[in-house]
Structures are given as structure tokens and as C-alpha cells.
Amino acid sequence: MKSTSNPDYTPFRLNIGGTTPRANWKILNIQSGDNVDFTGSCTDLAQFGDASVDEVYASHVFEHLSYVNDLLSALQEVHRILKPGCIFRCSVPDFEMLCKLFLHPSLTPEQRFYIMNVVFGGQQDPYDYHKVGLTWEFLSSYLSQAGFSSIRRVTEFGIFENDCSSIQFCGQLISLNIEATK
């Protein structure tokens, strides 16, 4: 949110798990890289103060966390760093949609393999494994438990080009995209 008391104020927007730069956004990633501004895990955002961030975006990050130990605490961390009234935009593979697509009788084995890859992760490095399948019911419940309000599903965000939140398969969006307000 733009500060009315300081016309030079630039909002602090955090892209968790991103790799592609975009003006007015900072990137936090578990792995260092050319465009990464902060290195660390989304389960520990201690490097950011309470209510210090104007907007948080995370595309295909939270499915990599254990639903037993890490998912809720990571969402609580996002809630903690967001300023009151600010928005968290989160995208994860839509487990319900992927299950429906997987069972479609016209799919080829290669198409089913692609869906399996989206469900379980690409498994190209130690961070590329999925530990939870999230649906609207599950993710909205976790977000509520973390303290978020005004949780709503959206079709697409349109913030970052070519990110996972807009992936389509057989004409269907396969990401669950949610906006939640602190």
C-alpha cells in the first residue's frame, strides 16, 4: 500500500520462490541465484520484520512443505511479515483438478506422466519434491488457521509472465490461485 505521508515510498513486495526479476519486487529463494535478493526458507522469514512487507507472492512453493510440520508455520510467517490489510497471493498445483485430469480416459501414458510430475515434483534437485497435495478446501483452511481473512480463489494473477500459476494442460488451468488478506 502506498504511503500517503511519504510520496517517495516504494512498497516492499516479496516473491517467495521466484527466480525471474520484476520491477519493484524482491526475490526470496531457498537457493541462491543471479536474481535472488534473499536466500532462505519460507518456513523461517526472520530476516523480515513484523508487518514489514506490502505484498507477498508465492507460485508453486508451498506444496514442497510437509503438511505435518512446515506448511502452517510457513503461512503464519507470511501472515506475520505482511502489513495489515495487505495481500498474499499464493499458487499451488490444484490437486483436485490434477486428479480429475489424470483419470480422464483419453489421456496418453505420456500425458499421465506429465500430471504425475506436477503432483510429485520434477525431482531434479533436493528441493524439487512435493510433500502435499492442496485443494481449495485444504489450502483455505490452512490460510484461515494462519490468521488470513478474505480468502478467495482467482483464475490467474497476471503479475509474473510464464510462471506456474498460469500453466494449462488439456485446456484446463492446473493451479489453485488464491488471494488472502491479512
Tell whether 7 is covered by a domain. no
Rounded to two decimals, what is the model's pTM? 0.92
Domain membership flag for residue 89: yes
The pLDDT value recorded for residue 162 is 79
The whole-angstrom separation of Cα 112 and Cα 120 is 12
**CATH at 24:** 3.40.50.150
Which amino acid type is present at position 73?
A: S
Give a yes or no: residue 115 inside a domain: no
Q: How many domains does the chain have?
A: 1
pLDDT of residue 1: 47
Predicted confidence at residue 2, as pLDDT, reads 46
CA 96 to chain centre: 17
User: Quick check: is 46 in a domain?
Assistant: yes
Give the residue numbers spanning the domain of 72. Answer: 13-94+131-166+176-181
- Residue 54 in any domain: the answer is yes
Q: Note whether residue 108 is domain-resident.
A: no
| Per-residue pLDDT tens listing for the chain (182 residues) | 444 577 778 899 999 999 999 999 999 999 999 999 999 999 999 999 999 999 999 999 999 999 999 999 999 999 999 999 999 999 999 999 999 999 999 999 999 999 999 999 999 999 999 999 999 999 999 999 999 999 999 999 989 887 899 999 999 999 999 999 99
The C-alpha atoms of residue 26 and residue 39 are separated, in whole angstroms, by 11
